[in-house]
């Protein structure tokens, strides 16, 4: 499951090569990369399934929810059942499969259509804001901006930086009324998974480093 983070693509050439070698199923997490291309192809269109988010802080939003894309007919049919309580027929309550209620409301759909029309404008505004941050912070030696993957477009989901004292910087920026957040808390250190590995400090050093 490659994750396209912060408005840029993962190295899909390596991912697909690895997947082909080991006969793996590729599901892309493109929640933060709507509209982003990797070597001319949209993120979410490389694997068997691509997942996107319309959460409130994403590039465009419907308040909650998201969407899934696939070019596999069998998967598409299964998704139709999953989103609508295990049925696809209208006017009947026969459930051939187990499903859930993942249906988007009409109000959310209306908001989404308007947001979609504004996508290019919103994306360009994010690019312009990101450029301002980089212009005015380029002389600050303690700050390093994340590197964009070669071959990837860039539609900043957020402007991201690396620094030695992230939590200290966050505290200062909060006092100035500027909202920030750290990198995701390492999955293998989540309290719900701690019982699986008592020596997790030895594993996934990059995840721990990025969070700190």
What is the pTM (predicted TM-score) of this model? 0.87
Assigned domain for 183 exists:
no
What pLDDT shows up at residue 199?
Answer: 62
What pLDDT shows up at residue 184?
Answer: 82
Assigned domain for 18 exists:
yes
What pLDDT shows up at residue 198?
Answer: 60
What pLDDT shows up at residue 200?
Answer: 59
Segment 146-173 shows an average pLDDT of 90
Assigned domain for 177 exists:
no
Q: Concatenated DSSP letters for 22-72?
A: HTPPPEEE-TT-TT-EETTEETTSSSSEEEEE-BTTSSS--BS-EEEE-S-
Assigned domain for 112 exists:
yes
What pLDDT shows up at residue 82?
Answer: 94
| Average pLDDT over all residues of the chain | 92
CATH of the domain at 56: 3.40.640.10
44, 47, 62, 173 from 127: Cα distances, Å: 21, 27, 21, 22
185 pLDDT band, cuts 50/70/90, is: confident
68 within 8 A of 48, measured Cβ to Cβ:
no
Assigned domain for 35 exists:
yes
> What pLDDT digit, counting tens, does each position of 4-27 carry?
999 999 999 999 999 999 999 999
Assigned domain for 202 exists:
no
Assigned domain for 54 exists:
yes
For 35, the domain range is: 12-119
Assigned domain for 27 exists:
yes
Structural domains of the chain, count: 1
What pLDDT shows up at residue 116?
Answer: 96
């Amino acid at each position: 499951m490659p994750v396209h983070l912060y408005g840029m693509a993962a190295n899909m050439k390596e991912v697909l090569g690895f997947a082909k070698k080991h006969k793996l199923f590729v599901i892309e997490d493109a929640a933060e990369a709507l509209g982003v291309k990797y070597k001319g192809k949209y993120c979410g269109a490389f694997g068997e399934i691509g997942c996107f988010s319309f959460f409130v802080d994403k590039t465009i939003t419907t308040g909650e929810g998201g969407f899934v894309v696939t070019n596999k007919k069998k998967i598409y049919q299964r998704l139709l059942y999953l989103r609508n309580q295990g049925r696809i027929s209208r006017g009947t309550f026969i459930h051939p499969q187990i499903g859930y209620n993942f249906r988007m409301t009409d109000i959310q759909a209306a908001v989404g259509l308007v947001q979609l029309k504004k996508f290019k404008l919103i994306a360009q505004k994010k690019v312009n804001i990101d450029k301002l941050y980089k212009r005015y912070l380029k002389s600050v030696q303690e700050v390093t901006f994340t590197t964009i993957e070669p071959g990837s477009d860039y539609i900043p989901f957020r402007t991201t930086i690396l620094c030695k004292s992230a939590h200290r910087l966050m505290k200062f920026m909060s006092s100035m009324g500027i909202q920030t957040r750290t990198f995701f808390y390492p999955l293998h250190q989540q309290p719900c998974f701690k019982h699986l590995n008592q020596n997790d400090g030895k594993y996934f050093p990059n995840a721990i480093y990025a969070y700190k």
